[in-house]
Amino acid sequence: MQAINIGLLGLGTVGGGVAEVLRDNQAEIARRLGRQINITAVCDLNAERAAQLCPQAEWVANPMDLVQRADVDIVVELFGGTGIAKEAVLNAINSGKHVVTANKKLLAEYGNEIFALAEQKNVMVQFEAAVAGGIPVIKALREGLAANRIQSIAGIINGTSNFILSEMREKGSAFKDVLAEAQRLGYAEADPTFDIEGHDAGHKITIMSALAFGTPVNFGACYLEGISRLDSRDIKYAEELGYRVKLLGITRKTDKGIELRVHPTLIPECRLLANVNGVMNAVRVQADMVGETLYYGAGAGALPTASAVVADLIDISRLITADTENRVPHLAFQPSQVQAQNFVGMDDITSSYYLRVQVTDKAGVLGTIANLLAKEGVSIEALIQKAVLDNNQAEIVILTHSTVERNVKTALRAIEALDSVGAPVTLIRMESLNG
Ligand code: HSE
């Protein structure tokens, strides 16, 4: 069979990995695919690096020229961002090229426009590498679980945050010290905002939510809360109570609509997800027929991410001659069946909560707090008094039963108004992940 020719936009970490995978595993890939995959054109600012990594490819200065070339079957977009990357992807599709991208931000924010154009032009846009790096979770959601109604997804999908939380737990260090260490090790970007404030995880869970429930992608509906305000005391107290704190991306179909959120979360230490440490990623999917499935692996890095990119190249190469209706739909459901659904605002989600309250250590304070929670129908599952601090201040840690978030927030406003309560209450959501 004729070789498949690709045009590569971007030769950074992942692009270099793609060149390496295609070079080192070419024979194995051809055994599976029945044809070769060649990089015929490459666009990167560094022409020297391009010549070194892709000696057989032609270096092209302008990405908009590359995406129109007649000798390119598939464009691989690895620029990142939503500027030139978006323009190049739309131009590639308009030129009738299939596209593979690792760009979660682009798809979470402009996926609907991109997929609609791709369907109009009869081309495929594949994006396995956009979510959880090397873990084939897009494949699982779109194909492996196609017989199910998916009920919920919970994932550790940002390696940088997971590394920081793992270190804070193991060493008891403060967030800012671990972040500095992560930057020194090259795990965290010089500007780590996207990772630590939940944007990256938000992009990924937004994409998975659309695939799970057959909705358009809707990043605007995703609640984002990162890890930068976490205190290592809360990680320690959580551990004493049998929980770990993880930054989770969560999406769930409920009677009220779809929940879509990213925030630090207490999960029981016995759960597999609680034991995913360092920069590793894991995604748990709950579905009606299969039950719980879990996908674990490297969420970043040159070769794991390239593994996902090349798998997409192989998929497209297999389906390139298939009728459009015989291809896997971009958002897992037939385009006519992708329907906007209601998203549940944070006040209306149902969760259980970890609360840490700093109080003056005197008779009756605990009772008053318990009463204010009870008034809003918030039931306490566990309550402990932690260390007595300076100035006769004590800390009370409360775990609640499952309740509507609005009720907890109303109770917290009343609690924070008490003279005996010295600081804003710390609230961390909890997930039992028990199906
Ligand atoms: N920066 C991401 C992470 C990897 O830390 O997991 C790419 O999405």
SS3 content of the chain, % helix, strand, coil (to 5): 40, 25, 35
pLDDT at 293: 98
What confidence category does residue 422 fall into, taking pLDDT thresholds of 50, 70 and 90? confident
Question: What's the gap in Å between 200 CA and the centre of ligand 1?
Answer: 7
Cβ neighbours for 53, distance < 8 A, ≥ 6 positions apart: 11, 15, 16, 19, 20, 42
Any atom of ligand 1 within 6 Å of the Cβ of 134? no
Structure token digits, residue 264: 């630090």
Atom of ligand 1 lying closest to residue 160 CA: 5
User: For residue 205, is pLDDT > 90?
Assistant: yes
SS3 of 347-364: the string is HHCEEEEEEEEEEECCCC
The string of pLDDT tens digits covering residues 241-293 is 999 999 999 999 999 999 999 999 999 999 999 999 999 999 999 999 999 99
Q: Work out the average pLDDT over 207-227.
A: 98
The string of pLDDT tens digits covering residues 227-241 is 999 999 999 999 999
Structure token digits, residue 36: 């070769």
Give the whole-angstrom CA distance, residue 97 versus residue 90: 10
Structure token digits, residue 102: 């690792």
The string of pLDDT tens digits covering residues 95-128 is 999 999 999 999 999 999 999 999 999 999 999 9
User: For residue 31, is pLDDT > 80?
Assistant: yes
User: For residue 39, is pLDDT > 80?
Assistant: yes
pTM of the model: 0.96
Any atom of ligand 1 within 6 Å of the Cβ of 249? no
Q: Where are the alpha helices (DSSP H) in 125-218?
A: 137-139, 159-171, 175-185, 193-196, 199-213
| Cβ contact 252:215 at 8 Å | no
| Cβ contact 115:125 at 8 Å | yes
Cβ neighbours for 396, distance < 8 A, ≥ 6 positions apart: 356, 357, 359, 366, 369, 383, 384, 385, 386
pLDDT at 1: 84
Atom of ligand 1 lying closest to residue 104 CA: 8
| Cβ contact 275:262 at 8 Å | no
Q: Work out the average pLDDT over 331-340.
A: 97
Q: Strands, E, within 209-290: which ranges?
A: 223-224, 243-254, 257-268, 280-287
Q: Which residue has the higher pLDDT, 330 or 385?
A: 330
**Dihedral pair phi/psi, residue 226, rounded to 5°:** -90, -160
Domains of the chain and any CATH numbers? 4-126 (3.40.50.720), 138-298 (3.30.360.10), 350-430 (3.30.70.260)
Any atom of ligand 1 within 6 Å of the Cβ of 300? yes
Q: Work out the average pLDDT over 81-93.
A: 97
User: For residue 163, is pLDDT > 90?
Assistant: yes
User: For residue 387, is pLDDT > 90?
Assistant: no
The share of the chain scoring above pLDDT 90, in percent, equals 92
Q: Which residue has the higher pLDDT, 181 or 390?
A: 181
pLDDT at 318: 94
Q: Which residues are catalytic?
A: 204
Give the whole-angstrom CA distance, residue 179 versus residue 334: 43
At 253 the three-state DSSP class reads: strand
What is the chain's mean pLDDT, rounded? 96
What confidence category does residue 435 fall into, taking pLDDT thresholds of 50, 70 and 90? low
What confidence category does residue 199 fall into, taking pLDDT thresholds of 50, 70 and 90? very high
Q: Work out the average pLDDT over 165-180.
A: 95
Candidates 200, 203, 207: which one to mutate for ligand 1, based on the most atoms within 8 Å of Cβ? 200
Give the whole-angstrom CA distance, residue 273 versus residue 145: 20
What confidence category does residue 325 fall into, taking pLDDT thresholds of 50, 70 and 90? confident
pLDDT at 434: 86
Between helix 26-33 and helix 302-319 the angle, nearest 10°, is: 30
Closest CA to 219 of 116, 110, 114, 126: 110
